Each structure stands twice: as C-alpha cells, then as structure tokens.
C-alpha cells in the first residue's frame, strides 16, 4: 500500500484539485493507497473542505492541528499516521507534480528505499530567495556534510525509513535533513517547479529563517567549535600585541595608543556577543527539547481513521 502525506495550510481553493490529481495518478498504478492530509491549523475553510473530501473518499483521512504548528510538524504527523509500505510526502499546492509518482514508485519497487525529487530549476522566485536558499544550502553542506542543494520535501520513503524517522525523539525537526541523515539506498528523480496555482507561498521570511537555524543546529555543533577557534586566534593576536606593548614600555617608547584600544574593545566586544548568542541558540534548542512538549496537538480527525 502507498500512503501520500499532504500538509495543508490555508489551501481551501487548492486542495480538492490536488487530491483529485493525486488520486488519478495513483489509480493508474493500480496500487492500494491512502491519502493522509494534515490541516496545519488553517484559518480559512480548508478543514470543511477536507471533511467533505473525506466523506466522499474512503481512502482519505484528515487530521486537524489545534493551531499552526508548521509544515515540519505536519509532515511528522502525516508520517506517523501513515500505514503504507511506502510513504510519499508532497506539497498540497501542486508545486510537486504528481506525474512524478509512478517513476518514484517504480524505483522503489526496484529496491531503492529513499526516492528524492530534486528541483531541476527553482521555478519563479525572487533573486533574494534564490540567493538566500543557495547560501543556506552551502552553509548546511559545510556544517553537516549533507548536500541538500535543490532538495525538496517531495520524497518517497520506504516503511523502514519512515519508522526510523518517526522514532526520532527530537521536537524541532528538519525533514529534508533527517531524510538524508538516515541513509539507505537512495535514488534521485528530477522535476521543474511549476508555479503555485492559487495564493502565495505560506512561508514567511521569518519562518524560513527559523527553519534555517533549526537545520543548522540540528545537524552540526561546528558553530560552537567556531567560538573556540575564534578564541585561539585572539589569543595568538594578544600574545603578539602583548610582547610589542611590553617592549615599547621597557624601551620607553610607549605612546597614547588610543585608537588601538578602542578598536580592540569594539572587536572583542562584538566577538564575545556573537559567541554568547551562538551558545544561546543551542541552549534554547536544548531547553525546547528538554521541555519535551508534543510536536503537535491533533484536535479533530475525519475519514477512515476516525
Ligand atoms: N504548509 C503547512 N504549514 C505551514 C506552511 C505551509 O502545512 O505553516 C504547507 C502548505 O500548505 C503546502 C506546503 O506546506 O502544502 C508548502 O508550502 P508553500 O507552497 O507555501 O511553500 P513553498 O512552495 O513556497 O516552499
Ligand atoms: Mg509551494
């Protein structure tokens, strides 16, 4: 059986069409299937639309979050409720073309356990988004060793992989990274991103920034080691400067040196603050994990699992 996981946030005008296309594509495969839809606390009519869909289609089950917990939480919720032998995660806005599913499924049948859809091009995006995405993936690669450039959340995961991902206890997740971290036999398929049919991206810049911080901190502690590295550099500098100052003093050449003092104060001050901030980010993550609140709360269910 195949499970398709769709996270939905304010997609009242889109979701019916997406579900219809997904159903059509999978029906042609002749496989048994289920569609798991997670309503990530939509504020529009999405939930009513979903209830309606679930009433009419026996394969659909829908879960509603008690508020907006974010796409990452929605994906995890979808995966933990999916029962299929393979799970396909995809966006509900048709920016992940369902036409790719048959190809992904055929690779899975050949024995690949993770089939990832990789963006051939990033579609219509502002140059700022392009730049920040590419910077993000470069830093991510340096920090974690995983090259996620052009990766997407459109993936087919074998049951084994889903079980491993769902088993991970961390609260703040970065699905793309986790799906790479688990390993397994992998295959890439390529697609170009079509334009969004209705509405705008549901991701604000600030949400994306938070996701980037989660991604960096979940996959690397290098930034913390960087603090030590910076400290060592400063130590070397201060030994050199210290000797110079002493020599000047002994020889009686010592003069004002006001500029140097101010500059050193400013540089050291800002480096200290950056380092403290960096440590702070990790402490905040530890704090969030230690609180161990649930990743999400499901307030309503409908469809076959009710
Ligand atoms: N989404 C979600 N919760 C959010 C934001 C987005 O479940 O807080 C869903 C959204 O409904 C869509 C998918 O995640 O199915 C991708 O979102 P979007 O198309 O807005 O992102 P983009 O294509 O710009 O990456
Ligand atoms: Mg989209």
Structural contact between residues 166 and 121, judged by C-beta atoms closer than 8 angstroms: no
Q: Which among 210, 142, 205, 211 has a CA at the least distance from the CA of 178?
A: 211
Q: Whose CA is nearest to atom 21 of ligand 1?
A: 201
To test the ligand 1 pocket, which listed residue (4, 7, 152, 210) has its Cβ within 8 A of the most ligand atoms?
A: 7
Long-range contacts of 203-209 (CB under 8 A, 24+ apart): 203/71, 207/70, 208/132
Q: Which among 14, 45, 20, 49 has a CA at the least distance from the CA of 35?
A: 20
Q: Which helix (H) or strand (E) holds 289?
A: helix 258-291
Q: Which residues, other chains included, contact 284 with Cβ-Cβ below 8 Å and sequence gap of 6+? A: none
Structural contact between residues 129 and 200, judged by C-beta atoms closer than 8 angstroms: no
Q: Separation of 305 CA from ligand 2 center, angstroms?
A: 27
What distance in Å separates the CA atoms of residue 175 and residue 79, rounded to the nearest whole number? Answer: 11
Q: Whose CA is nearest to atom 24 of ligand 1?
A: 201
What distance in Å separates the CA atoms of residue 105 and residue 115, rounded to the nearest whole number? Answer: 8
What distance in Å separates the CA atoms of residue 184 and residue 292, rounded to the nearest whole number? Answer: 28
To test the ligand 1 pocket, which listed residue (36, 71, 95) has its Cβ within 8 A of the most ligand atoms?
A: 71
Ligand nearest to the CA of 7: 1
- C-alpha torsion angle, residues 140, 132, 89, 213 (rounded to 10): 50
Identify the residue whose tokens are 């104060």.
265
Q: Separation of 95 CA from ligand 2 center, angstroms?
A: 5
Ligand nearest to the CA of 201: 1
Q: Which helix (H) or strand (E) holds 235?
A: helix 222-250
ipTM of the complex: 0.91
Ligand nearest to the CA of 15: 1
Ligand 1 residue neighbourhood (C-beta within 6 Å): 7-9, 11, 40, 68, 70-71, 74, 91-93, 95, 201-203
Q: Which atom of ligand 1 is nearest to the CA of 69?
A: 8
Based on C-alpha coordinates, what's the Rg of the chain?
Answer: 25
Helix (H, G, I), strand (E, B) or coil at 171: coil
Q: Which atom of ligand 1 is nearest to the CA of 207?
A: 8
Q: Which atom of ligand 1 is nearest to the CA of 10?
A: 11
Domain boundaries, the chain: 2-220+298-303, 222-291
Long-range contacts of 98-103 (CB under 8 A, 24+ apart): 98/18, 98/21, 98/22, 98/24, 98/25, 99/25, 100/154, 100/189, 100/191, 101/4, 101/22, 101/25, 101/26, 101/29, 101/156, 102/25, 102/28, 102/29, 103/189
Per-residue pLDDT of the chain (306 residues; tens, 9 = 90+): 899 999 999 988 889 889 998 998 988 888 889 999 999 999 988 999 998 888 888 889 999 999 999 899 999 999 999 999 999 999 988 888 998 999 999 999 999 999 999 988 776 778 888 888 888 888 888 888 888 888 889 999 999 999 999 998 888 888 988 888 898 998 989 988 887 777 777 788 888 888 888 888 888 888 888 888 888 888 888 888 888 888 888 888 777 777 778 888 888 888 888 888 888 888 888 888 888 888 899 998 888 765
To test the ligand 1 pocket, which listed residue (136, 203, 206, 211) has its Cβ within 8 A of the most ligand atoms?
A: 203
Choosing among 3.20.20.70, 3.90.550.10, 3.40.50.150, 3.40.50.800, the CATH entry for 2-220+298-303 is: 3.90.550.10
- Where are the strands (E) in the chain, listed by range? 2-8, 33-39, 60-65, 86-89, 114-121, 151-158, 186-192, 298-303
Q: Separation of 112 CA from ligand 1 center, angstroms?
A: 27
Structural contact between residues 288 and 171, judged by C-beta atoms closer than 8 angstroms: yes
Q: Which residues, other chains included, contact 24 with Cβ-Cβ below 8 Å and sequence gap of 6+? A: 98
């Amino acid at each position: 059986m195949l499970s398709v996981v769709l996270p939905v946030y304010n997609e009242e005008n889109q979701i019916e069409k997406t579900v219809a296309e997904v159903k059509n594509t999978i029906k042609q495969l002749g496989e048994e299937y289920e569609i798991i839809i997670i309503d990530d606390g939509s504020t529009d009519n999405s939930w009513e639309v979903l209830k309606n869909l679930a009433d009419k289609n026996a394969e659909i089950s829908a879960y509603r979050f008690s508020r907006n917990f974010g796409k990452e939480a929605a994906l995890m919720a979808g995966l933990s409720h999916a029962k299929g032998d393979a799970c396909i995660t995809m966006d509900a806005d048709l920016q992940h073309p369902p036409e790719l599913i048959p190809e992904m499924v055929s690779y899975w049948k050949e024995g690949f356990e993770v089939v990832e859809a990789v963006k051939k091009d990033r579609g219509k995006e502002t140059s700022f988004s392009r730049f920040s995405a590419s910077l993000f993936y470069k830093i991510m690669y340096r920090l974690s060793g995983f090259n996620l450039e052009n990766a997407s959340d459109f993936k087919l995961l074998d049951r084994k992989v889903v079980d491993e991902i769902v088993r991970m206890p961390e609260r703040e997740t970065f699905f793309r990274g986790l799906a790479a971290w688990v390993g397994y036999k992998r295959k890439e398929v390529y697609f170009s991103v079509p334009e969004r049919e209705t509405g705008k991206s549901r991701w604000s810049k600030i949400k994306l920034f938070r996701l980037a911080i989660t991604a960096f901190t979940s996959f690397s502690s290098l930034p913390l080691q960087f603090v030590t590295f910076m400290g060592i550099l400063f130590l070397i500098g201060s030994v050199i400067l210290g000797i110079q100052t002493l020599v000047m003093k002994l020889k009686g050449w010592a003069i004002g040196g006001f500029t140097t003092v101010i500059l050193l104060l400013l540089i050291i001050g800002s480096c200290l603050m950056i380092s403290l901030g960096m440590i702070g980010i990790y402490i905040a993550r530890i704090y969030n994990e230690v609180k161990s609140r649930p990743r999400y709360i499901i307030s309503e269910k409908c469809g076959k699992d009710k």
